[in-house]
Structure 1
Amino acid sequence: MDVRNENNFDSVGTTTCTSAVKRHDEVLDLDSDDDSPDSSVSTNEAQTRDRGLWANKLEFFLAITGYTVGLGSVWRFPMVCSRNGGGAFLIPFFFFLITSGGPLYYLEVCLGQFTGLSAGLAYEFCPLLKGLGILQVLLSLTVLWYLMDVLAWTFYFLYSCFQSELPWTTCNNSWNTHRCRAVSEVWSSVDLHNSSFQGETVVKDVYSGMLNGSASIISNVTMGNTNVTSYNSSGTSTSAYEFWEYKVIARSSGLEDMGSIQIHLVVSFFLAWVFCVAAVIKGVKSLGKVVYITATAPYVFLTIIFIKGLMLDGALDGMETFLKPDFSKLLTYQVWVDAAVQVFFSLGPSWGTVITMSSYNRFHDKSFWSTTLCVCSAGFTSFYNGLVVFTLLGFMAKTTGIPLHVVASQSGPGLVFVVFPTVLSQMPVPHLWSVLFFAMLITVAFDSLFGMFETVTSAVIDLFPHQLIRHRSAINIIGGLIFFICELPLTMNGGIYLMQLADWYFSAFAVLFSSFFQLLAVCWLYGTDRFARDIHYMTGRDVCVLLRIMWTIVIPSFVSVIFFIFLLQYSAPSYGDGYVYSSGAIAAGIFMGLVPIIVMVGVGIFTFIRLKGSCLQRLKTGCSPSEKWCPHDHETKDIYLKESYVYPATKWKTFCLNIRGSDKNTFF
């Protein structure tokens, strides 16, 4: 038996849990003065009531499903699927969903459920890497900061839907230029079908305000194609483009010219934060009720729009373009890379939200099937969104004469805030369909934002629970106000440049870095078999061999490959009409993107310095569970206290045990 087992793990079984029992009682401000035989049970019930629990499994399922089904499934997946072989793309997509996305999601659910703490405090099983929790909280914090801009835009579009005339359909507004052409004029123009407009290039020019852009960093909340070219070779732009460009974002000439604050965006931001704070004002007690609406409403809205879309001319052509398989694409590595990236970022692991949401589960909940259904619903929703999007794009292509592959070249805000408003304005009762569409976007965005905001605030509360746990409402309100104030720069004329720069660097590299070290900590330092033992304490289920292989070997390999491909394919950000970010802006973006990683490394170094002994002893102690690591269930702690885990004598035997488990363990 190695030194690590002899020196550390006997104490891990006893000292760790003894201290953890004391810590959890103090952390939750509980008085265990009940001398009755059921005192431990009542203490446990008091603990769970104090921090909060989901009222039932359905609330948890709806919460994580709503978080998982983000905006990327609406404005990115359909286009990625279309350009990567249509229906053939679903093969690598579901392959990675099953072999990587789902298993990683389940790992985080189990980690949060075992600790009963938010992501910021969930990594005490490996003190040297407990900064991972802080990294994940910082990721949620930074992405929440700029993602709220999308919700503010959507709120303003929804407000505009209630005007007597949809403002993006006309050219007689104060923001329009002399180059403006009304959507209805372009849509119904006879010239689109005669010789003066023949050729893809000229037709594309008419819609240049909605059919261009360059790819952005890909993530669960990525902006996709944020760029929109201001003018085209024919010297005209559509009213929908000008509404977006000159009214909604009122874009300046660059990051160096931030301009002034846009009042309509400030109001939209404020309303967005009012709804967000109200939803989580009492933690899961209020959020659990809100998700009944926000997690289910998108499917209602999508289905209504889909049914109407099927009745439109060209809808079947759009669906055929989306689904028609091109199996030759599967022979190119980029398709498989795109599928892996889409799965990884669409599910949203390693942001801390999954861990935080699952920390409100009851300790003995069997969460395997809830997680499986959530992952399956995420895959289905992405596919369903693709069908809805392409029925509308097929209608647009059919009625305007624009080739469908040109229409389908756009994603991100250009698709959602220019192309879709154009299409919806030409449908019967356009106000109704516009309201339904933007209401759907709001509910989709809210679920992701709820989860991230709860991740940030619960990390603060769990860090100082004795002082703050009874002031959750005040913490949420103060947090919302701080976010609102910090987001005011995004309401300025140059806010879109700031937002794209943040999205470019915040939401990719640090997430992959977090995922890799999360798997390293759980599966290689703590041990897959030991983590499986912890899961058995919770659920009574053994972790099968296949899942162990995915956690220990497959997913770390995939994450490493994706990370290096990201590094190889890196390019500096730019905006659509030729704006190039300065070297100073790029350096600032890179630095801010590295801040979460720097904090994680700094926490590890600080922890290493505080440990006692030689460097080797500190390293061994830092890779062993701290005295704070223990299950949060009071009854299970007593059992955990008596049954210390002993590692095999050699690293090879440890590896084999991590993969195989006990002799009774099944492969599936």
Structure 2
Amino acid sequence: MEKSALPGDENGGAVANGRSETQISDVAGRDGPEGVAVEPARDAWGSKIQYLLAQVGFSVGLGNVWRFPYLCHLNGGGAFVLLYVLLLVVVGIPLFFLELAAGQCIQQGSIGVWKTISPKLVGIGYSSCVVCFFVALYYNVIIAWSLFYLGSSFQYPLPWEECPEPVNNQTVKECTGSSPTTYFWFRKTLDITDSIDETGQLNPIMTGCLLAAWAIVCLAMIKGIKSSGKVMYFSSIFPYVVLLCFLIRGLLLDGAAEGIIYMFYPKLELWGNVQVWRQAATQVFFALGLGFGSIIAYSSYNPRRNNCHRDALMVSFINFFTSVFATLVVFAVLGFRAKNIAKECVLSNLKLLSQLSDVELEQNPFSPQFNIFEPSSVSLEEYREWFLRNGSGVPVNVTDCNPEDEMKKGAEGTGLAFITFTQAMSLFPASPFWSALFFLMLLNLGLSTMFGTMQGILTPLMDNFKSLMRHKTILTVGSCTVGFLIGLMFTQRCGNYFVTMFDDYSATLPLIIVVIFETLSVAWIYGADRFLDDIENMLQWRPPAVYRIIWKYISLLAMVGLLGASLLQMLFKRPTYVAWNREEATEVRLEYPGWALGVLTILIVIASLPIPLGVLHSLLRSWLGAAPTWGANAERETYTKCSSVDLDSVPVDTREEGGDGESPGAERCRLLAREDEAEEATTEV
């Protein structure tokens, strides 16, 4: 039986006419029907470009620059890129579209969205908020590091180009045993301990940088999206300008072509490795920012007629393009670095050969044809040809100077940004300029992601607790202050180890669990077909039916498989971290001590616990009589139709303070459920 049009969805209604939140807000603050006060309208984006820049800025983060290139390098280059595209299309884009549509449809943050669908699901939103809080704590520390390196870049020569001057004719063993950039990172920047067990005092310089980072975030978000949206014009666009500059400069460097060829040479045999699939799926998952609630929060400020399907495709492919773009830049520069290291290796080996006597050189078959006493006249290619031709006949201490050996030493995360790439830039002419440009780019990448992460906390809380909406500035300043105070744990001398712990464990499993329940909620509890009906009502056209199959089966199975693979890896392989051994001047891999395993377990539990607690809370309220009566009809009435919500027409006194009541517009959302019941009653008659 064909359903009649819902009130508010007819052609004459505000929603059907395409009235945006901005248009509706014209009447905000006036008295509603019968003199009942109406809540002021929610914020809205100043323009579509602000919204797109915000979504791109959130999804395109530091991982695109220092994680994706490493995974490409580790997992077969071009083969990994093809696998990534496959998973992006089959899993990533549909889930990204789901979150965009849910936020825009219900016009609420993550807590309000899932509570509108069912009060039992409210814990999904709270879990997203907890994960965002954990991520914000350590992510701003990375921004603080970028601030420190940015400030240090305004020196000539750069402070990490050479080891410190010898004191009393004694060199700094830690620097000579590693490299100037490694020494500057571990000793001058972090002043790191040898293990996570050695706490140490606060690092005053890093504490100051962390305070500055939180101050920037606070000032940019003090007026919500109205202020952060304007910042996005710079923070989201500037990194692309820098990447383009680095790509042009990098392609002109000696060794850049070899680096890029090495990067994208496909090794399709790695597709048979389960771990490659797991890492590709995890990268798709985190690159798009699924599960944080930030996507939902940003899209909730859109007009309901906004084409969120087109946005999902656009942002996803911009994200992928950025990852590949950054990979080209990274490996062009690393190819240049590898060739320079190989040339230094040739000079070192020629020096060893020159120390042999003339008799030894004449009597040995490995005697080179080039002049070893003029190293500058010997090319890398000539040396390698001689070395490979003589094979084992050369002296033991003379090595093959192969640039590929250096390229195989993959680096990711902070190691890539603050050590490897920094070392390569120190070889550039005008190195301070390029260094300042690079760390300013990292700063903006981090800030744009940080804005989205904080929005994933603030928007749901303000939507669910109306008293917080009236004190938005206090909430923002208070959140940033708490974040700074708790974040001081990361500015200890062992703080880098805690950053690694939070990055590896506080978000990964909880976010996967959140997205699994999001998909279950929409595809099975609410119903994929009903959700597509809502989207059709909202956009005036129906998305392809393939989304129903993907949401119900493919995406859900993929996420469950990813969760299982991640759990198995944790259970069968004790968690480890990379520590810096000061005496040996090298990195070592250590197992987390028992207390640290307890901490990371608590982090995972705290982030995941709101989901079952939300279900339990709803069941208890039903049992105590605070919810509709038991039975199929009462349960069915819980699942609400999204697209009939008109937040700006809901009187204040129908919204419960404190977030314990029904979500805004819930009464109007239930029109579909009541209509269904009426149809069933008619059928029975």
| TM-score w.r.t. length of structure 2 | 0.77
**Could you say which residue in structure 2 is the equivalent of 1:98?**
89
**1:76 corresponds to:** 67
CA contact (8 A) 2:645 2:668 kept: no
Of the structure 1 ranges 638-647 and 369-378, higher mean CA displacement relative to structure 2 is found in 638-647
Residue among 118, 122, 133 paired with 2:113: 122
Q: Provide the C-alpha distance between the structure 1 equivalents of 2:168 and 2:645, rounded to a whole number of angstroms.
A: 61
Q: Corresponding residue for 1:418? A: 419
The more displaced of 520-529 and 493-502 is 493-502
| Residue 447 of structure 2 is aligned to residue 446 of structure 1 | yes
Give 3-state SS (helix, strand or coil) of 2:543's partner.
coil
Partner residue, 2:582: none
2:513 corresponding residue in structure 1:
513
**1:268 matched to 2:282:** no
Contact 1:573–1:580 at 8 Å: present in 2 too? yes
Segment drifting more, 358-367 vs 325-334: 325-334
Partners of 1:87 and 1:453 lie apart in 2 by: 35
Q: Give the number of equivalent residue pairs.
A: 568
Q: Percent identity, aligned pairs only?
A: 28
CA–CA separation in structure 2 for the residues paired with 1:588 and 1:176: 45
Query: Residues 627 and 399 of structure 1: is their aligned pair in 2 closer, same or farther, counting only changes over 3 Å?
Result: closer
- Which residue of 594, 604, 617 corresponds with 2:630? 617
**C-alpha distance in structure 2 between counterparts of 1:176 and 1:604, whole Å:** 68
Which residue of structure 2 aligns with residue 305 of structure 1?
246
Q: Could you tell which deviates more after superposition, 589-598 or 441-450?
A: 589-598
For residue 64 of structure 2, what is the amino acid of its counterpart? S
Tell me, yes or no, if structure 1 residue 381 matches structure 2 residue 322. yes
Partner of 2:528: 528
Distance 1:364 1:78 in 2: 37
Alignment correspondent of 2:297:
356
Q: Could you tell me which of 603, 612, 623 is aligned with 1:601?
A: 612
| Other structure's SS at 1:166 match | coil
Range moving further from structure 2, 102-111 or 474-483: 474-483
Q: Encode CA deviations 1:276-305: one digit per residue, 9 max, x unaligned.
A: 111111111111111111111110000001
Cα deviation digits, residues 225-272 of structure 1 (max 9, x gap): xxxxx89xxx71111111111111111133332111111111111111
Which 10-residue stretch deviates more, 135-144 or 365-374? 365-374
**Counterpart secondary structure, 1:172:** coil
Alpha-carbon distance, 1:521 to partner: 0.8
Q: Distance in 1 between matches of 2:168 and 2:283?
A: 37
Instruction: Give the distance between the partners of 1:581 and 1:169, measured in 2 at CA.
Output: 33
In 2, distance between residues paired with 1:573 and 1:88?
28
- Specify which of 221, 225, 229 is matched with residue 280 of structure 1: 221
Residue 161 in structure 1 maps to residue 153 in structure 2: yes
1:586 to 559, 574, 597: 597
* Offset of residue 627 of structure 1: 7.7
- TM-score (normalised: structure 1): 0.79
Name the CA distance, whole Å, in 2 between partners of 1:605 and 1:488: 35
Contact 1:176–1:246 (8 Å) recurs in 2: no
Which of 645, 649, 656 is the aligned partner of 1:631? 645
Given that 2:622 and 2:628 are in contact with CA atoms closer than 8 Å, whether structure 1 keeps it comes out as: no
In the TM superposition, 1:395-414 aligns within 5 A as 395-401=336-342, 403-404=403-404, 406-407=406-407, 408-414=409-415
The 1:338/1:315 distance shift into structure 2, 3 A limit, reads: same
Separation in 1, partners of 2:169, 2:614 = 54
Deviations 1:428-484 (A, max 9, x none): 00000001111111111111100111221223322322x232332222112111111
3-state SS of paired residue (1:569): helix
Q: 1:504 to 1:642 in 2, by over 3 A?
A: closer
Quote the offset at 1:316 in angstroms: 0.3
Q: Secondary structure at the match of 1:574?
A: strand
Given the alignment of the two structures, is residue 148 of structure 1 paired with residue 140 of structure 2, yes or no?
yes
CA contact (8 A) 1:86 1:322 kept: yes
- SS of residue matched to 2:428: coil
SS in 2 for 1:292: helix
> Aligned-pair distance for 1:600?
2.0
Superposed, which structure 2 residues align to 1:129-144 within 5 Å?
129-144=121-136
Determine which of 235, 238, 262 is the counterpart of 2:179. 238
CA shift for structure 1 position 395: 0.1
Tell me the amino acid that sits aligned with residue 101 of structure 1: G
C-alpha distance in structure 2 between counterparts of 1:524 and 1:398, whole Å: 55
Aligned to 2:495: 495
2:31 match: 33
1:250 to 182, 191, 196: 191
Counterpart amino acid of residue 79 in structure 1: Y
Return closer, same or farther for 1:639/1:273 CA change in 2, 3 Å cut-off: closer
When residues 143 and 640 of structure 1 are mapped into structure 2, their CA distance, relative to the original with a 3 A threshold, is: closer
Q: Give CA deviations for 1:373-411 in whole Å, capped at 9, x if unaligned.
A: 000000111111100000000001111116335435111
In the alignment, what sits opposite 1:205?
none
Instruction: Quote the offset at 1:580 in angstroms.
Output: 2.9
Q: Does structure 2 conserve the Cα–Cα contact (< 8 Å) formed by 1:77 and 1:386?
A: yes
Matched, 1:646 2:676: yes
Q: Secondary structure of the equivalent of 1:349?
A: coil
Distance 1:150 1:98 in 2: 30
Shift of 1:33: 2.9
The verdict on how the C-alpha distance between 1:417 and 1:468 changes in structure 2, with shifts beyond 3 A counting, is same
Describe the superposition over 1:107-164 as per-residue Cα deviations: whole angstroms up to 9, x where unpaired: 0011111221111222121221210000001010111111111111111000100123
**Which stretch of structure 1 is more off in the superposition, 278-287 or 596-605?**
596-605
> 1:86, 1:325 within 8 Å by CA — same for their partners in 2?
yes
Q: What amino acid sits opposite 1:456 in the alignment?
A: I
Q: Structure 1 CA distance, aligned partners of 2:631 and 2:501? A: 40
Which amino acid counterpart does residue 76 of structure 1 have in structure 2? R
Q: Secondary structure at the match of 2:459?
A: helix
How many angstroms does 1:334 deviate by?
A: 3.1
Alpha-carbon distance in structure 1 between the residues aligned to 2:679 and 2:66: 52
Distance in 2 separating the partners of 1:103 and 1:586 = 35
Give the deviation of 1:526 after TM superposition. 0.6
User: Closer, same or farther in 2 for the Cα pair 1:616/1:509, shift >3 Å?
Assistant: farther
Give unmatched runs, 5+ long, in structure 1.
2-9, 14-27, 182-229, 651-668
**Structure-2 change in CA distance of 1:648 and 1:371 (3 Å):** farther
1:564 counterpart residue number: 564
In structure 1, C-alpha distance between the alignment counterparts of 2:169 and 2:90, rounded to whole Å: 52
1:53 aligns with 2:67: no
Q: Label 1:517 to 1:327 Cα distance change in 2 as closer, same or farther (>3 A).
A: same
| Cα shift at 1:555 | 0.2
Aligned residue for 2:434, secondary structure, equals: helix
The equivalent position to 1:316 in structure 2, one of 257, 267, 274, is 257
- Whether the 8 Å contact between 1:85 and 1:327 is mirrored in structure 2 is yes
Question: For the residues of structure 1 that align with 2:265 and 2:298, how far apart are their CA atoms?
Answer: 38
Larger Rg: 2
